[in-house]
Structure 1
């Protein structure tokens, strides 16, 4: 077995869709949202290509035998995404505090909790849970962090269901309804298209980073102003 090829395939949405079938895709969606080790899976592009695989363009894009059931995907994907997130929340409630408080942990870092608290404060817990679905990596880690922050299970469940449905169904239907139009050029433009999807998904993160830098710069200027004013005052007295 070529383990290098296997490793590449795990990160290649097209290869995954063509190889694992509906059950495999559902398992990956569950792992990405429920198991903290699944954060590296290409969830957005995977769902879009799964939608293509359920369209009439399936064989043109993914090869013979790649056809999938859109009904199975539309029902199974949100269920797995919701179940995975619920597991992540439960994990955060039960063992999250101990894991995140370990100073030498490489994955369960305290910074995740701090950043999630800021995310929760800015958008509110409900909106944070929904928006996190569309942000790679964040959708994996926010669920246990919500548990650590003691977000009520019932509240989390309601917004988890809403976010899970919006994310999976929108991605699947984009692929399903555009599959025929994209089929002639999807091989040529697959990589740019997937990169665009990733960039769009990460845009809230970029905006947040930009705002944080702007806020920090403004705070630095505000701190420097009194000191400069005091200095100039002393200079005039002298």
Structure 2
């Protein structure tokens, strides 16, 4: 930890390979970050999709913290289920927070940990897509942090929320964890390429892919605003 730099906080591999006193705690960090990013409004800056993808690559090391599973499929399945459970609990907490005291966020001042614009963007996203927004939001950075809070604020029926919550958690965790795990094996066996040696490139690619929808939405929003201003003139 002597060579620690704050920029490592944005690197998912830092959490996955973390040790305390020589004891690996990567699995605990992964589960906590998944919970925080989907349940705590201050968790929007944490790595999400890239964390799950890399967790798939390091699946055996992570799961062996708890127990050793000989079967490769069982190993990665257990990891995906654990992450899905953490994501489900995170959304439940976000929903509860929104239903009880989320309204105060609209009056809260911006800070490093909180940007009100993200709240309004997530609200517009939720209003446009309804319950299915919870599934879409899982694959969108920042939005996935605020959508369950919005669902709580508008008092979305609990049964309906839980259906989309569990479904989205399973889809998100299994798709990304399995993709990371089996793409790692594929590149290693077919091209002799160890993806663990190209983590930075993988993170950059995943950030670009997951951020693309948000960038396009921002561009369209600016164009729409510009047209309105031109019309008013």
Q: What's the TM-score, normalizing by structure 2? A: 0.80
- 2:120 and 2:37 map into 1 onto residues whose CA distance is 22
In the TM superposition, what is the alpha-carbon distance from 1:41 to its structure 2 partner? 2.0
- 2:114 and 2:44 map into 1 onto residues whose CA distance is 13
Per-residue CA deviations over 1:55-77 (Å, capped at 9, x if unaligned) read 6xx7xxxxxx9x99323212111
Q: Which residue matches 2:166?
A: 161
Q: Which residue matches 1:143?
A: 148
Q: Which residue matches 1:41?
A: 46
Matched, 1:170 2:169: no
Contact kept, 8 Å, 1:96 with 1:148, in 2: the verdict is: yes
Which one of the candidate residues 117, 125, 150 is aligned to 1:111? Answer: 117
Contact kept, 8 Å, 2:56 with 2:181, in 1: the verdict is: yes
Q: Which residue matches 1:198?
A: 207
Per-residue CA deviations over 1:42-88 (Å, capped at 9, x if unaligned) read 12111111111236xx7xxxxxx9x9932321211111101101101
Larger radius of gyration: 1
Report the CA distance shift for 1:6/1:73 in structure 2 as closer, same or farther (over 3 A): farther
Per-residue CA deviations over 1:105-149 (Å, capped at 9, x if unaligned) read 524554344322321232x22222111111112211222122223
In the TM superposition, what is the alpha-carbon distance from 1:174 to its structure 2 partner? 0.4
Q: Which residue matches 2:10?
A: 11
- 1:190 and 1:18 map into 2 onto residues whose CA distance is 12
Contact kept, 8 Å, 2:126 with 2:147, in 1: the verdict is: no
Contact kept, 8 Å, 1:51 with 1:175, in 2: the verdict is: yes
Residue correspondences, number: 213
The answer for unaligned runs of 5 or more in structure 1 is 59-64, 225-238
In the TM superposition, what is the alpha-carbon distance from 1:101 to its structure 2 partner? 1.8
In the TM superposition, what is the alpha-carbon distance from 1:29 to its structure 2 partner? 1.2
CA RMSD of aligned residues (A): 2.7
Contact kept, 8 Å, 1:36 with 1:141, in 2: the verdict is: yes
- 1:93 and 1:109 map into 2 onto residues whose CA distance is 20
In the TM superposition, what is the alpha-carbon distance from 1:6 to its structure 2 partner? 6.2
- 1:44 and 1:143 map into 2 onto residues whose CA distance is 17
Q: What's the TM-score, normalizing by structure 1? A: 0.78
In the TM superposition, what is the alpha-carbon distance from 1:26 to its structure 2 partner? 1.7
- 2:115 and 2:26 map into 1 onto residues whose CA distance is 34
The answer for unaligned runs of 5 or more in structure 2 is 19-24, 62-67
Report the CA distance shift for 1:109/1:188 in structure 2 as closer, same or farther (over 3 A): closer
User: How does 1:1-238 map onto structure 2 within 5 Å?
Assistant: 2=2, 5=4, 7-19=6-18, 20-54=25-59, 69-102=75-108, 104-106=109-111, 107-108=113-114, 110-122=116-128, 124-183=129-188, 184-224=193-233
Secondary structure at the counterpart of residue 144 of structure 2: helix
Report the CA distance shift for 1:110/1:47 in structure 2 as closer, same or farther (over 3 A): closer
In the TM superposition, what is the alpha-carbon distance from 1:220 to its structure 2 partner? 2.8
